[in-house]
Amino acid sequence: MILSLHGYNVTAAQDAEEAMHVLPRRRFDLLITDVIMPGRSGVELAEIAVALWPGLPVLFVSGYAWDELVRTRRLSRDAPFLRKPYRNEELLTMVSAALG
């Protein structure tokens, strides 16, 4: 994965349920999640993660258009968002911005 190649320590999960087993075990610097997933949505996952770790930054990704996600209330207007497919440079820029 591109993030690992740039020095980031990455923990991947196949879905929200797997992520929910990993999240309580250690603090993460950033959560990157798809908005729409089978089972729990990325928004639901983010809410749980932020409840566990207040202040945890979240970056949402999706193949759906941002305005459609906002219009259907799947995503808040101010949520950091990256539309798929994205270029590696876009991901790296968004991650860097999220981490401050």
pLDDT at 69: 82
pLDDT at 72: 77
Q: Would you place residue 1 in the very low, low, confident or very high pLDDT band (cuts 50, 70, 90)?
A: confident
Helix/strand number for the chain, H first, E second: 5, 3
> Per the structure, how many domains does the chain have?
1
What is the domain-level CATH number for residue 15? Answer: 3.40.50.2300
Write the pLDDT tens digit of every residue in 9-62.
999 999 999 999 999 999 999 999 999 998 999 999 999 999 999 999 999 999
Can you read off the two tokens belonging to residue 54? Answer: 């207040």
Q: Look at phi and psi of residue 7 and say left if phi exceeds 0, alpha if psi is from -120 to 50, else beta.
A: left
User: Range of 44's domain?
Assistant: 2-99
